[in-house]
């Protein structure tokens, strides 16, 4: 695939995801989207996923340092 088409396609996907999150956000004035009792607030879901990813990243870095410390103690 052409590099310019790839860049354009990636940009369209990123802007589309940001726009969809903004439209479905509860603070946008229109309220969250809902299907029955289920909310389709994609902005909130993305924020929760980001916070969870940061949590697991920090936790795994801590585990890595513990394992490196144990490895250094064995030498």
- Tokens 């940009």 sit on residue: 11
pLDDT at position 22 is 78
Q: Lowest-confidence range among 47-51, 52-56, 70-74?
A: 70-74
Judge contact between 32 and 24, C-beta under 8 A: yes
As a whole number, mean pLDDT of residues 43-63 equals: 92
Q: Which two tokens stand for residue 18?
A: 């940001």
pLDDT cut 70: percent of the chain above it: 80
Per residue in 18-33, pLDDT tens?
A: 888 877 775 555 555 6
How far apart CA 14 and CA 47 sit, in angstroms, is: 15
For residue 54, pLDDT over 80 is answered with yes
The residue ranges of every structural domain in the chain are 3-74
């Amino acid at each position: 695939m052409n590099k310019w088409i790839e860049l354009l396609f990636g940009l369209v996907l990123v802007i589309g995801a940001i726009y969809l999150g903004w439209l479905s956000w509860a603070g946008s004035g229109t309220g969250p989207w809902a299907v029955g009792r289920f909310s389709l607030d994609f902005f909130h879901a993305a924020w929760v996923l980001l916070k969870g990813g940061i949590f697991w990243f920090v936790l795994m870095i801590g585990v890595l340092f513990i394992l490196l410390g144990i490895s250094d103690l064995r030498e």
